[in-house]
Structures are given as structure tokens and as C-alpha cells.
Amino acid sequence: MTAPERRQRPKRPQIVLEVIERIQLTPHLVRIVAGGPGIAAVEENGKTDAYAKMIFADPSANLTPPYDMEVLREQLPQDQLPSIRTYSIRRFDLANGQIWVDFVVHGTEGVAGPWADNAKPGDPLVLLGIGGGYAPDPEADWHLLAGDEAAIPAIAAALEVMPSDARGVAFLEVQDEQGQLDLTAPEGIEVVWLHRGQAEAGTTDLLIDAVRGLEWPDGTVQVFAHGERGAMKQLRPFLTEDRGVDRSQLSLSAYWAHGRREDAFQAEKREPIGQI
């Protein structure tokens, strides 16, 4: 099929929300509560790992959403174009006209983090549709959840909707005690916080060692493991080959890659060598 014959993906409509509130959850985790008239276009998809691609514009460019990206590419230099980043939706609260999005922030590093650090009521938050593929299976005998800060929103959302008799364990990697959150979980789900201390995120084997060292209960397990690419690449063969987890009961993906911006990381993932 030649290039002109290829089907072009339809453009996803931009959903323009506005910041209602900014909440500092931990030293490195900020919650943005967003709503406004645009919330009418948001539909909950029933997935606890629901996510949206979000468009962040350079404040110095003074752009007003929705953004015409084709026109902007002709008018602006590359470093001033709006950037697209992917974030989990921590909670749909559509009855109150809101969604929650939790951002990992590290000072001035990155695009979305600094935006969330400085967000104020009325600022725009622009979404490009909503995706997702995982929700806890009430028929599973037990659950294994594992992730770093980037996966905490999805894991927290999953724990909240599990049946009261759910069993299992959730491993969550953070820097230290200050990074922990008071999560709502069934009594049968053990929430284990792993502290990496001063080590840089994405450079330790904490999560890998915790999963490998788990005493494996009997019965059918459903696994949700999301986080840094290197850790996920090591966990996949352990879960599928060593432990025989059925792929239908496994949600495993790299949310980010150490040393990579998201646009570069996503481009790499589309190449066969970069796919997990």
C-alpha cells in the first residue's frame, strides 16, 4: 500500500477542560481537579487504568485551545509547539463535573510536571480522548499489582473498586515515607511500600525483587504491572514463563523509560525492538 493510499487516522477532538483545584498530595505528586463546560464531552470507560493524552502549550506562546496543530507547525519553531503527554485519570467524578489527574513532579524537569506544579484555577487542561484496558476481575482468586509513582493513580483506582473479599498484594515504589498515600483497599489486599531512598527513579531493582520474592498463592491471579520500561521488560518473562500467568489476566506496560522524554519513548515503542 503506497503512502497516499494509507488510511489516515481520524483526528481526535480536543476536550478543553479548566483547572478547578490543585492539591499537593506528596512532595512529588500533585493532583489536578479539572472540569468546566468541556466536561460534558468526557465519558467514563469503566477501566481503572483510564488515561488521556494531554496537550501542554508553552505559556510564552500565548496560545488558546483548542490547538490547530497543523497550523502551529507552520507558524512556530519546534521548541515552542505544544507537547503531548499521557497521564492516568485518577478518578471520574462526573456527577460533580470533575476528573482528577495526578502528576509526578520533579522541579522544572519535564513538561507536564512543571505545568501541574504551577497550575492555577482557570488554566486549560486539554485532552485527546480517553483510553484504557484494565479493570479488576472479580472472578480472580487473587490480585498482584506493581508499579512506581507513575502507576499509583491506576493502582489506587483499582484497589477502590475491588470487591471487599478480594485477596492479593500491591507493591508500590516511592522515594521514601513522604511519598506514601493513604489508599483505600480491601482488607485482603496487602499494600507494600518500597522505598528507593536517594536512588534515582528507574535505576533500582526494588519492584522486580519484590515481585520475584513473593510467595505465590494458589489459584488464578490477575496482574497489573506498570512502570519504568526496564523493570517491566524483566518482569514480563518472569510472570508469563516462570509463573505461567495467562496473558488474558496480565496487564503489563511501560509507562515511561529512564532517560527518555515521552515523545522519544513513544516513538521507540513503535519500533519492533522497543516493544515489550
Secondary structure (DSSP) of 181-210: ------TTEEEEEEE-TTSPTTS--HHHHH
Other C-beta atoms within 10 Å of 39: how many? 20
Supply φ then ψ for residue 210, to 5 degrees: -65, -45
Residue 239 has a pLDDT of 98
Buried b (16+ CB within 10 A) or exposed e, 108-144: eebbbbbbbbebeeebbbbbbebebebbbeeebebbb
User: How far is 208 from 119, CA to CA, in rounded Å?
Assistant: 34
Residue 275 has a pLDDT of 54
Residue 267 has a pLDDT of 46
User: Which residues have a Cβ under 8 Å from the Cβ of 244 and sit 6 or more positions away?
Assistant: none
3-class secondary-structure state, position 62: coil
Per-residue pLDDT of the chain (276 residues; tens, 9 = 90+): 444 444 555 567 899 999 999 999 999 999 999 999 999 999 999 999 999 999 999 888 889 999 999 999 999 988 889 999 999 999 999 999 999 999 999 888 889 999 999 999 999 999 998 999 999 999 999 999 999 999 999 999 999 999 999 999 999 999 999 999 999 999 999 999 999 999 998 999 999 999 999 999 999 999 999 999 999 999 999 999 999 999 999 999 999 998 655 454 444 444 544 554
3-class secondary-structure state, position 93: strand
Residue 231 has a pLDDT of 96
User: How far is 137 from 146, CA to CA, in rounded Å?
Assistant: 16
Residue 54 has a pLDDT of 97
Instruction: Name residue 52's beta-bridge partners.
Output: 87
